[in-house]
Structure 1
């Protein structure tokens, strides 16, 4: 994923290629689907994090780097949960929900 992102950012033209994508119905459907997924995941991140600043940073990275960031966030959440699913899902709010 890292290699593909670097390739796209260095070799592609976002505005030219983006306008072509947005001119096609399935391109629009794909982008709406993608960003609905990003938005839903971002809502979970906002819920898990106590810090508004951390939430904003994570959401910004999700919107720019996509599921690369989501994968990284899930990895960190799994590592910090210490095999406790409540801690995984509730994050920093775990003590509030327990």
Structure 2
């Protein structure tokens, strides 16, 4: 559990530093336009949003309330794995060391019959 928290914290810090660097030193529309002109830039975006979508499935599974799902999934699609790192940290800290809670959430049993 400690290693997972360390990795999530490193991810959060790296994403924060990268976003700050991008906003301070880059031009979002210009740089984004260049990315979309490159076939590998488009592939990177496809890869990124497939990852966001798959990660969102886990959020939808863990959270029961629609408002909580929206609060996590919408920012994930905008801010990326900065939000994903925060969500993983949330899951790890609320689990109190129980991996079943990390993966399934506080309000779910391991075998709750949903699928």
Runs of 5+ in structure 2 lacking a partner? 1-14
Computed over aligned residues only, the root mean square deviation of the Cα atoms, in angstroms, reads 1.7
Structure 1 residue 95: Cα displacement: 3.6
**1:25 is the counterpart of 2:36:** no
Q: Which runs of 4+ in 1 moved over 3 A?
A: 95-98
Structure (1/2) with the larger helix percentage:
1
Where structure 1 has 5 or more consecutive residues not aligned to the other structure, the ranges are none
Shift of 1:2: 1.3
Greater RCO between the two (CA within 8 Å, min separation 6)? 2
Alignment of 1:39 with 2:53, yes or no, is yes
With normalisation by structure 1, the TM-score equals 0.86
For residues 55 and 8 of structure 1, what CA distance do their matches in structure 2 show? Answer: 28
Residue in structure 2 matched with residue 81 of structure 1 by the alignment: 95
| TM alignment of 1:59-74, pairs within 5 A | 59-74=73-88
